[in-house]
Amino acid sequence: MAIDKIKKSIFIIPSDIFETFLVELKNISSVEIISQQDIKATVEEQSFLGYTYQTIKMIISKLEFLLTLISKYRIFIPTDLTSQEVFISYSLNSDLEQISNLYTEIEQIDREIKSIHTNIQNLQNKKVLIENFSGINLSFSKLRQLKNYKYFFLRINVKKLNSLIKELQKLRLSYYWIHRKVKDVYYFFVLIHNIEENNFFNLTRLFEIQILNITQEIETDSIEEEIKIINKKIADQKMLLKELEEKIKILLTPNIKKIISTYVQAREVEDFILAQQNTTKTKYSKILSCWVPEKFINKVKNLVNKFTNVSVLFIEPQKGEDIPTVLRNKPISEPYEFITTLYGYPKINTVDPTNFLAPFFTLFFALCVSDVFYGILLTLTWVFLRNKVPKYSEYYKLVTLLKYLGLTSIVIGFLLDSFLGFSVVRNFKLPLNIAVFDPLNRPIDMLKFTFLLGFVQIIFGLFINTIKSYKDNDILSSIDNLSWVLFIFSFAPVVYNLFFQKDISESLLKTSGRVSLAIFLFIVIFQSRNIKSILLKPVNILVKGYNVIGFYADILSYSRILALALASSAIAQTINILVGKLLKAELLGIKFLEPILAPIVFVGGHIFNFLLGCLGAFVHSARLQFLEFFSKFFVAGGRPIKLFTPKKEFMQKSSL
């Protein structure tokens, strides 16, 4: 139920068994190699299997470029490639040569694509520029024949237009046309006689007028004709762009397996080169520094015991070092680490929220799904996937999470009296009525319950922060958090009365108002201690008032649970009504067809509602944790540990 403690391990390894030990160390997947000490041979001089560091980095860069394009163009990747373990093969050299040729060809096409994107952007910019003068009745061929006049297309701020017009009227033999206003800018056309050209340019500087380079952009006789030509050029460029993108897909698709396999092997070679880099060579031994989570220390010790000449020393990390964050929770709450890491890793020596969010997330999800049968489907999904997804996969925790979510949804479904949209009590004649809420017929009761859940979780989050501040000997911050807890408690009847009048007695309201006002004033005064200016201290009332609104807005946000439960129940019942009409041939009037369609609509409709409901339940339950709950105590800034481990997946998020 915490962030695991991290130790720094220093290994002293004889040179003659170093590579053997390194392989064994990688197999136990327990350490992150961190040493950056100076060694006699630079990293550029080191090699593994004939590849230097610079060579393998260049190869990986090319492969990552190809993998990025695979992701960019959404090329299908066979599922068996995403989890298989890849070993370094003797065909690596020939594969790299083929990949290098493929990279050269695709990289050339990609450059052409980027050039086309630039051309399209330039054409669109040109179009945007001249469109401001669309509709102006000018012939550019005739304008170009003028000998004694110069013409200009201008843009000027609205506030300066009147002053400019007055000055233009003073110029001899000059004409202007105000064409269009866009926001706070006017676009207009002027015709200036040569004798007034210098005076005109003085005006442009005086009024900060922007002279638009329309004349050089126009190749035809009118703006409308030019826009048509630009649109055609853009369409042609987009068609060419589509052809080139399709060509890249054709080149990549048959080579996906080779690209992925080669990429994993190249990363394995890089790992071994970097492992050599992170050692300090002496005459007779090598020294290796690693981060080791406390839960893996026994595994490391057992490995060292196999090598009689290897020594290891565990030391406490120093302040300021880049220590990774490793979550360590009991098996029942470990799957919820998937939810925590979706938001980010907590900073070292702060609070791991996994255990705290687990019951809330599970309950919120189940309330949103609100159906017994949908809970059964979730549980069956877990039964089906638990042996399909390998334990080392990042999604294994999500699959395990389905078990808890499914079982809880079954229980909550009975409490909400829903089984595929039917009433468990009325339609299935359940002898014991255990229904507590009815989202469709009694939504207010469930709305109150969702507010209560929000109230409890917000208070709980503040209380966690209070305890954490107290343990850190930050007593003032602990008092700050505790005072907000007391205020939210005391002011709750007043806020409740705004939504549900007549439920609260007048005496309780008066007491609540007085107590909450006293606590609020204490908060304003006490939390102004760091404001040095006396004049700014009263402003803190507005800041704390805004905080009050924020806390209760967070609580109101939990009403989304009711909204999702309503949607799930309503859609399920609508499907059942529709199926009932189909069975009786009352929908389309086709007696022989409608009864056949009924089971298809029933199964398809409920599968759709199940998937939609689960997606919404997951997203909104997670949102309540991330925005409403975590904001009260969670301190981000941690990073995951980069274990020195055999590659079991071809692609990590950090690789693309």
Q: What is the CATH number of the domain that holds 203?
A: 3.30.70.2750
Q: What is the pLDDT of residue 604?
A: 92
Q: Are 467 and 446 in contact (CB under 8 A)?
A: no
Class of residue 606 by CB neighbours under 10 A (exposed 0-12, middle 13-18, buried 19+):
buried
- Beta strands 285-293 and 32-33 are antiparallel
Helix (H) or strand (E) holding 149: strand 149-157
Helix (H) or strand (E) holding 638: strand 636-638
Phi-psi region of 642 (alpha: psi -120 to 50; beta: other; left: phi over 0): beta
309 inside domain: no
C-alpha to C-alpha distance for 69 and 247, rounded to whole angstroms? 12
Q: How far is CA 359 from the centre of its chain?
A: 23
Q: Are 609 and 575 in contact (CB under 8 A)?
A: yes
Instruction: Verify that 200 and 349 share a domain, yes or no.
Output: no
481 inside domain: yes
15 inside domain: no
Where in the sequence is the domain holding 173, given as residue range(s)?
Answer: 139-221
Helix (H) or strand (E) holding 25: helix 18-28
Tokens 């996994």 appear where?
A: 354
Q: Please write down the HEC assignment for all residues of 76-132.
A: CCCHHHCCCCCCCCCCHHHHHHHHHHHHHHHHHHHHHHHHHHHHHHHHHHHHHHHHC
Could you give the angle at the alpha carbon of 571 between the alpha carbons of 569 and 577, nearest 5°?
100
Instruction: Verify that 427 and 550 share a domain, yes or no.
Output: yes
Inter-axis angle of helices 372-385 and 396-415, nearest 10: 160
C-alpha to C-alpha distance for 203 and 164, rounded to whole angstroms? 8
C-alpha separations of 407 from 123, 376, 410, 412 in Å: 58, 7, 5, 9
In this prediction, the residues of the chain whose per-residue pLDDT falls under 70 are 1, 35-50, 78-93, 268-269, 271-285, 586-589, 647-656
**CA atoms within a 13 Å half-sphere pointing along the CA-CB vector of 140:** 16
Domain limit, last residue, from 204, 221, 238: 221
496 inside domain: yes
Domain limit, last residue, from 202, 221, 240: 221
- What's the pTM? 0.62
C-alpha to C-alpha distance for 565 and 642, rounded to whole angstroms? 40
448 inside domain: yes
363 inside domain: yes
Instruction: Verify that 215 and 359 share a domain, yes or no.
Output: no
133 inside domain: no
**CA atoms within a 13 Å half-sphere pointing along the CA-CB vector of 23:** 3
Taking the alpha carbons of 59, 646, 332, 569 in that order, is the dihedral positive or negative? Answer: positive
Domain limit, last residue, from 182, 205, 221: 221
Instruction: Verify that 345 and 200 share a domain, yes or no.
Output: no
The conformation of residue 640, written as its DSSP 8-state character, comes to: B
Instruction: Verify that 390 and 514 share a domain, yes or no.
Output: yes
102 inside domain: no
- CB atoms near residue 630 (< 10 Å): 21
The CA radius of gyration of the chain, in Å to the nearest whole number, is 35
C-alpha to C-alpha distance for 244 and 74, rounded to whole angstroms? 15
C-alpha separations of 67 from 77, 247, 598 in Å: 11, 16, 46
Q: Are 240 and 116 in contact (CB under 8 A)?
A: yes
Instruction: Verify that 196 and 341 share a domain, yes or no.
Output: no
Instruction: Verify that 206 and 343 share a domain, yes or no.
Output: no
Q: What is the number of structural domains in the chain?
A: 2
